[in-house]
C-alpha cells in the first residue's frame, strides 16, 4: 500500500492532486482547515480516504495529522505540501499589518517546515525506509507580482527549505522536490481572466491552464523510485507573463 498526505486538499490544486493520487492507487490523507471541503474532495475517492481537519500553522495539529495517517495506514510514502495563503494584493507593502505578514509566513513557510519535520520523523523510522516530499513553490519563487512581498518572500524561502531538506533527507532515503506552478485554473485564479496588476502599473487579463496539468506533474514526481528525484519543475500557462515578466 502507498500512502500520501496532501495539505490544502479542500479545493483547487490540492483537490486535483489528491484525486490524481487516489487514481494512482494511493491511500490519501486529506488535510485542510475545513471539514466540509475535505468531505467534498473525498467524494468519488476510495473508501479508505482519510479527511483530517488540520491547521498547518499549529505544530500540534500537524503532529496529529501524521499520527492519524500512521495509525490508519502504518506509513507515509508521499507528502504534498500545498497549503498556502497570501495577503491582499490591493495593499501596498508599507501598509501591510504585522498580522497579515505573520499569517502568510506561518502558513506558507512555517507550515511547510512543520510538515517536513514530521515527515522526516515518520519516513526515517518506517520499513521500507524513506519517502518523497513535494513542496508547492510558485512562479513567485522566481519573480514577484506587484504588492506581493509576504507571498513572494515565503515562496523564495520554500525554495531554500526544499534544497536543505533534499540534502538532509538523503541519509534517510527521503527525496524532496518542488513544483513551481503558474496560473492554474481554479476558483482562486478566476480573477486572472478579468485582469491582474502588471509590473508596468497596468491591469491585463492573463492566460490560465487546466489544473489537471499540475495534478499530472505531481503524479509523475510521486511515481519515481526514491533513487530518482525531480528537484525543481515549473508548470505554467504557456502564454502567461512569467518569461519576460517585468
Cα 235 to chain centroid, rounded: 13
- Stretch 200-224: mean pLDDT, rounded? 90
Chain segment 84-95, per-residue pLDDT in tens:
999 998 999 999
Please tell me the total count of domains within the chain.
1
Domain presence at residue 246: no
The span from the CA of 215 to the CA of 10, in Å, is 14
Catalytic residue status for 220: no
Dump the DSSP string for 132-187. EEEEE--GGGTSPPTT-HHHHHHHHHHHHHHHHHHHHHGGGTEEEEEEEEE-EESG
The span from the CA of 174 to the CA of 120, in Å, is 8
Q: Containing domain of residue 186, as a range? A: 3-236
**Does the structure show a pLDDT above 60 at 63?**
yes
Domain presence at residue 243: no
Dump the DSSP string for 92-134. -GGG--HHHHHHHHIIIIIHHHHHHHHHHHHHTTSSS--EEEE
- pLDDT interval class at 244 (50, 70, 90): low
Domain presence at residue 241: no
Domain presence at residue 157: yes
Domain presence at residue 75: yes
The span from the CA of 111 to the CA of 59, in Å, is 8
Mean pLDDT of the chain: 94
Chain segment 47-58, per-residue pLDDT in tens:
999 999 999 999
Domain presence at residue 231: yes
Instruction: Report the CATH number that the domain containing residue 224 is assigned in CATH.
Output: 3.40.50.720
Per-residue b/e over 89-111, b at no fewer than 16 CB within 10 Å? Answer: eeeeeeebeeebbebbbbbbbbb
pLDDT of the residue at 183: 84
Chain segment 108-145, per-residue pLDDT in tens:
999 999 999 999 999 999 999 999 999 999 999 999 88
pLDDT of the residue at 9: 98
Catalytic residue among 26, 114, 151, 242: 151
Chain segment 146-194, per-residue pLDDT in tens:
899 999 999 999 999 999 999 999 999 999 999 999 888 776 666 666 7
pLDDT of the residue at 209: 86
pLDDT of the residue at 208: 84
Domain presence at residue 242: no
The span from the CA of 125 to the CA of 16, in Å, is 30
Kindly give, in sequence order, each residue whose CB lies less than 8 Å from that of residue 35, ignoring residues fewer than 6 positions away: 51, 53
Domain presence at residue 61: yes
pLDDT of the residue at 189: 63
Amino acid at each position: 500500500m502507498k500512502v500520501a498526505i496532501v495539505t490544502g486538499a479542500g479545493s483547487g490544486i490540492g483537490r486535483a492532486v489528491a484525486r490524481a493520487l487516489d487514481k494512482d492507487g494511493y491511500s490519501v490523507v486529506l488535510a485542510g482547515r475545513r471539514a466540509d471541503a475535505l468531505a467534498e474532495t473525498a467524494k468519488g475517492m476510495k473508501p479508505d480516504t482519510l479527511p483530517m481537519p488540520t491547521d498547518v500553522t499549529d505544530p500540534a495539529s500537524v503532529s496529529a495529522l501524521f499520527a492519524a495517517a500512521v495509525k490508519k495506514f502504518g506509513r507515509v510514502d508521499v507528502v504534498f505540501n500545498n497549503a498556502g495563503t497570501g495577503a491582499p494584493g490591493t495593499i501596498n507593502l508599507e501598509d501591510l499589518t504585522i498580522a497579515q505578514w505573520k499569517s502568510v509566513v506561518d502558513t506558507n513557510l512555517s507550515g511547510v517546515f512543520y510538515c517536513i519535520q514530521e515527515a522526516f520523523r515518520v519516513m526515517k523510522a518506517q520499513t521500507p525506509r524513506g519517502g518523497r516530499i513535494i513542496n508547492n513553490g510558485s512562479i513567485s519563487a522566481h519573480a514577484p507580482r506587484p504588492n506581493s512581498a509576504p507571498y513572494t518572500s515565503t515562496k523564495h524561502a520554500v525554495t531554500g527549505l526544499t534544497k536543505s531538506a533534499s540534502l538532509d533527507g538523503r541519509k534517510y532515503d527521503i527525496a524532496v522536490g518542488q513544483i513551481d506552478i503558474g496560473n492554474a485554473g481554479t476558483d482562486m485564479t478566476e480573477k486572472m481572466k478579468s485582469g491582474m496588476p502588471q509590473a508596468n502599473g497596468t491591469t491585463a487579463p492573463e492566460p490560465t491552464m487546466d489544473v489537471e496539468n499540475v495534478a499530472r506533474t505531481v503524479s509523475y514526481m510521486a511515481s519515481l523510485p526514491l533513487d530518482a528525484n525531480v528537484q525543481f519543475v515549473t508548470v505554467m500557462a504557456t502564454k502567461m507573463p512569467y518569461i519576460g515578466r517585468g
